[in-house]
Structure 1
Amino acid sequence: MNGRRRAAVGAAATTLALGGAAAAATAVAASFARAVVTPRRHKPDDVEVLQVGPRRVVLAASPDTVVPGRYGVWTDAGRGHFRVGDVLEVTGGADGGGGGRVVRELLAVDSGAALPGAARWNQYYYAGDPTSALGLPHEDLLVPGEVGDLPCWCVPPAGEPSDTWAVLVHGRGATREEALRALPVLHRLGIPSLVPAYRNDADGPASAAALYGLGDTEWQDVEAVARHALARGARRLVVVGWSMGGAILLQFTARSPLAEDVAALVLDGPVVDWYDVLDHQARQRGVPVRLGRYGLRLLAHPLGRRLVGVEGPVDLRTMDWVRRAEELVLPVLLLHSDDDDYVPSGPSQRLARARPDLVTYVPSTTARHTKEWNVDPERWESAVTDFLRSTLGLGADPGAAPGAGGGR
């Protein structure tokens, strides 16, 4: 083989190798992006109940079970549920690394039986609907939306109806039960509440691709629910969101003509910069950040999005509210723990620093993702109550003191 031919063969081999590496990188990036937008229909058991006594329960130690606060535990594939409180003792493996045990106060058995075995942690503390979980009367609605009817709880207030209504939006992969913790505060303040499912929830309508839009599409479902509230007599709205629910609400207030009827936002552990969140998730999954970023670019690219399967381009730059901070026009209460393990608090801190005129920031520690209420319900409810009274010009709380939320 002469030199020219050897060079040609070498060049061809290099091209094939580079092409193969590029294809492999694209496959990893597309897989990461697809995981980000794919709803998790099945949630496996993630906690082991070791012993149950009259007023205490022993659990296998894990990063969730050793954290102070109030939580729930689903048993028997979700058919049973009990609630736990204070950590009474932790022995061995307290960091959740294996072999440890944590003893917690057993507060109540809501359904089924509290028995040893595999179970699933419930960060919402409550389980069920507003009536079964909190003793609050509610109405089950179906609100027409763009892709189908949206199941929705309507919870009337204590006392005379108000012309200020709340719309509460849960996070990615969560359920409407995530909002139960906030309902007693709004109920006592005289604010009717709507708690909807949105597209691609387990109990919501499916879009054509059955994938999340990370707020880029779901805000239209919030718009439908807001329109329903206005048709029923609301004159202004408060919107409350957790995690991706925060990203959805920020898009709603930026893109919907109904945003002029919104008086304030309450955001708990919100996604205000998807790039920061997904860089963090890539590191946790062992995916190089540059490949994770490549996957996120695929979401916005007309051809790349076909590899992921989303219906339309999802441009995460439009959901970076640190960069868009000057566009905020509404008062925001922002609650975020520095120990949030899923959505880092850095972007929330930066947004608060950029707009101290509009953002009331309530930092905390210890709580994992969207569990600020669980760790310190009195502080959470006091912050929300004070913010809404001040922002909306409400009178004194006619009901119980903050922190006295309902329960069975």
Structure 2
Amino acid sequence: MPLAPSFAVMLRTEDNVRIEAAHTPSRGPADLGIVLAHGFTGSLRERPARRITHVLSGFGGVVSFDFRGHGRSGGESTVGDLEILDMDAAVRHARAIGYARVAVVGFSMGGAVAVRYAGRRAAAGRDGRAGRDGEIDAVVTVSAPARWYYRGTRPMRQVHWAIERPLGRLAARVGKRTRIRSRGWDPVPSAPHEAVVDISPTPLLIVHGDADSFFPLDHAHQLHDAAGEPKELWIEPGYGHAESAATPDLVRRIGRWVVANS
């Protein structure tokens, strides 16, 4: 089956970073938009993200995008901090092109950003500081970390080498087209397990594999335990990490959940 056609669009963030995005029209409900956020060193142009976009477009229109420092987007990656501004631009675009309901689906780093963004938006809405443009109706986080600086697995030690060492950042730039900011966080952004507290009453789905080689299951449980209702936790047998391991069946189940809960 050919992948669904998509239409390129260039977005601008609140801090004036150029973000490459694409809109794949819905083959399902016309009023539902799904913002798809990739993991660290990923891209909307890579085949796993394109497959996920195609499947999700059966449930709603999909706005996929490259985080800052990734692919053809501008700027440098801050590995989960300022990326909430990139997601904000994508959500606002989904609203601007007419979607009445908007859900965010994020993988790995994108899942952490989805949690942080949703928590900030919900808190701002309760305080009367947020308009409708950036509002979201449901959140799905897949293979996401619950806390920062985790080095408990070999893949995550390699990720930290790529982030923290000049040679690692060069390797990420050359091999993955990912440009990483050299200076660290100041201040340190809220961790996902802290931000998830604020998402309620927006529906939240946490998906994690029991074969994830990056983040063990305690990350998923920490997120779920901290979150308010309504929330669901899916522990997927045999599922590895993020986009590359996501099967069409899992993505379809996520799509059905989004339709039912947004």
From 106, 110, 116, give the equivalent of 1:245.
110
Q: Name the CA shift for 1:188/1:373 in 2 (closer, same or farther; >3 Å).
A: same
Residue 266 (structure 1) aligns with = 140
| Whole-angstrom CA distance in 2 between matches of 1:284 and 1:231 | 40
- 1:368 match: secondary structure: coil
Q: Name the CA shift for 1:369/1:283 in 2 (closer, same or farther; >3 Å).
A: closer
Q: Name the CA shift for 1:182/1:202 in 2 (closer, same or farther; >3 Å).
A: closer
- 2:82 match: secondary structure: coil
Q: Is 1:201 aligned with 2:70?
A: yes
Which structure 2 residues correspond to residues 93-108 of structure 1 after superposition, within 5 A?
Answer: none
1:319 aligned partner, one-letter code: A
Which structure 2 residues correspond to residues 304-319 of structure 1 after superposition, within 5 A?
Answer: 309-310=182-183, 313-316=186-189, 318-319=190-191
Does the CA-based 8 Å contact 1:337-1:372 persist in structure 2? no
Which structure 2 residues correspond to residues 10-29 of structure 1 after superposition, within 5 A?
Answer: none
| Whole-angstrom CA distance in 2 between matches of 1:166 and 1:282 | 29
From 203, 218, 233, give the equivalent of 1:331.
203
How far the C-alpha of 1:382 sits from its partner, in A, is 4.4
| Whole-angstrom CA distance in 2 between matches of 1:387 and 1:244 | 21
Relative to the length of structure 2, the TM-score reads: 0.75
| Whole-angstrom CA distance in 1 between matches of 2:24 and 2:228 | 32
| Whole-angstrom CA distance in 2 between matches of 1:339 and 1:383 | 19
Q: Deviations over 1:262-306 (max 9, x none)?
A: 11111110122124x334459856x9xxxxxxxxxxxxxxxxxxx
Does the CA-based 8 Å contact 1:142-1:152 persist in structure 2? yes
Q: How many residues align?
A: 227
Relative to the length of structure 1, the TM-score reads: 0.50
2:191 aligned partner, one-letter code: M
From 45, 48, 51, give the equivalent of 1:181.
51
Using CA pairs below 8 Å that are at least 6 residues apart, which structure has the higher relative contact order? Answer: 2
Residue 255 (structure 1) aligns with = 120
| Whole-angstrom CA distance in 1 between matches of 2:89 and 2:64 | 12
Identify, as 1 or 2, the structure richer in strand.
1
How far the C-alpha of 1:143 sits from its partner, in A, is 1.4
How far the C-alpha of 1:179 sits from its partner, in A, is 2.4
How far the C-alpha of 1:142 sits from its partner, in A, is 1.1
- 1:229 match: secondary structure: helix
Q: Is 1:340 aligned with 2:208?
A: no
| Identical columns (%) | 22
Does the CA-based 8 Å contact 1:336-1:372 persist in structure 2? no
- 2:57 match: secondary structure: helix
| Whole-angstrom CA distance in 1 between matches of 2:156 and 2:183 | 23
| Whole-angstrom CA distance in 1 between matches of 2:246 and 2:101 | 26
How far the C-alpha of 1:152 sits from its partner, in A, is 1.0
How far the C-alpha of 1:196 sits from its partner, in A, is 0.8
How far the C-alpha of 1:228 sits from its partner, in A, is 1.6
1:233 aligned partner, one-letter code: G
Q: Name the CA shift for 1:182/1:282 in 2 (closer, same or farther; >3 Å).
A: closer
How far the C-alpha of 1:238 sits from its partner, in A, is 0.5
How far the C-alpha of 1:249 sits from its partner, in A, is 1.3
Does the CA-based 8 Å contact 1:142-1:150 persist in structure 2? yes
Q: Name the CA shift for 1:269/1:282 in 2 (closer, same or farther; >3 Å).
A: closer
Q: Name the CA shift for 1:356/1:248 in 2 (closer, same or farther; >3 Å).
A: closer
Q: Name the CA shift for 1:372/1:336 in 2 (closer, same or farther; >3 Å).
A: farther
Does the CA-based 8 Å contact 1:147-1:205 persist in structure 2? no
Q: Which runs of 5+ in 1 are unaligned?
A: 1-132, 288-307, 393-408
From 144, 151, 165, give the equivalent of 2:12.
144
Q: Which runs of 5+ in 2 are unaligned?
A: 122-129, 161-180
- 1:339 match: secondary structure: coil
How far the C-alpha of 1:148 sits from its partner, in A, is 3.1
| Whole-angstrom CA distance in 1 between matches of 2:198 and 2:74 | 32
Does the CA-based 8 Å contact 2:36-2:64 persist in structure 1? yes
Q: Deviations over 1:228-280 (max 9, x none)?
A: 222211222110111000111122222343686211111110122124x3344
Does the CA-based 8 Å contact 2:146-2:219 persist in structure 1? yes
| Whole-angstrom CA distance in 1 between matches of 2:224 and 2:205 | 10
Which structure 2 residues correspond to residues 66-77 of structure 1 after superposition, within 5 A?
Answer: none
How far the C-alpha of 1:351 sits from its partner, in A, is 2.4
Q: Name the CA shift for 1:251/1:353 in 2 (closer, same or farther; >3 Å).
A: closer
| Whole-angstrom CA distance in 2 between matches of 1:199 and 1:149 | 8
Q: Name the CA shift for 1:389/1:235 in 2 (closer, same or farther; >3 Å).
A: closer
1:173 aligned partner, one-letter code: T
Q: Deviations over 1:131-174 (max 9, x none)?
A: xx943121111112334321111100126x62221110101111
Q: Is 1:364 aligned with 2:218?
A: no
CA RMSD of aligned residues (A): 2.8
* Structure whose CA Rg is larger: 1
Residue 35 (structure 2) aligns with = 167
Residue 154 (structure 1) aligns with = 23
How far the C-alpha of 1:220 sits from its partner, in A, is 0.3
Residue 385 (structure 1) aligns with = 255
